[in-house]
Amino acid sequence: MRRNTFYIILGLVILFEVGVFWWAVEIHNALLMQVAFILGVVVIYLSRRRVEEVIEDERTVLITQKAALRTLEIFWVIFFAVNLGLQ
């Protein structure tokens, strides 16, 4: 399977999860959410194992780490600014 196909499957699984979560909340059934989550994880795991191309390399890992660090920095600044403004 190609990497782009995996990303399409990932997006479809996420849309399915959101729909099932919404429906489970509407009918007040928590078991449905749990089963859907486990099923989604299994589908993603099995799909990822079938990808022949490289999904991550050193460059993408470094970019992801830098983006995560910057996101956390911005979050904390906004979080503290909002909390100080509410006092």
Kindly report the length of the chain: 87
Angle, CA 36 vertex, CA 30 and CA 37 arms, to 5° = 90
pTM value is 0.64
pLDDT at 74: 95
Q: pLDDT tens, 23-70?
A: 999 999 889 999 999 999 999 999 999 988 777 788 988 999 999 999
Task: With CA atoms as reference, report the closest residue to 66 among 54, 78, 58, 55.
Answer: 58
